[in-house]
Chains A and B, each alone.
Chain A
């Protein structure tokens, strides 16, 4: 069975400061890792996936298999980054997603 842990339910960061949302996973096989985001009054949507190795809205996430982590980072927070962020995992080749409990990020002006 797979498990995704997001240890912080709430995270507040000042505008312009670096952001790191933590995500750890437990899975014995090869995982696909994702970050989904839900902005206020908007639908939950994909932010990025580890296989793409891309930066979206200034966010990056590196899969660290040794530490079983997939932390989301951004060097300079912006007010529009305030949202609910979910880390998710799927077994390779399987579309079933297991989500973490989410972290609500608030950017302080």
Chain B
């Protein structure tokens, strides 16, 4: 158990819909990262927050957004969903910005 909690574990929805994925980092970790894992793209970095502030953006679509709340949990919002958004979405956390990242079990998103 990494100490990073992601909910829900599975999400099935339709094209055009909007979903919210939730992540609770390990106790004491200030940095939260979101990654997407798909068969064709592999593991790709989406976005990072540190103590409530956005610090870096990767290959994140404009339809996707995220935030980190004062209690340090984070949410990833995906809107206008397309079939190609089907993937495993991981959250990771670390104590500082250049420290080992610990991953949650992921949320598997299936778009029908």
Do the two chains belong together in a single complex? Answer: no
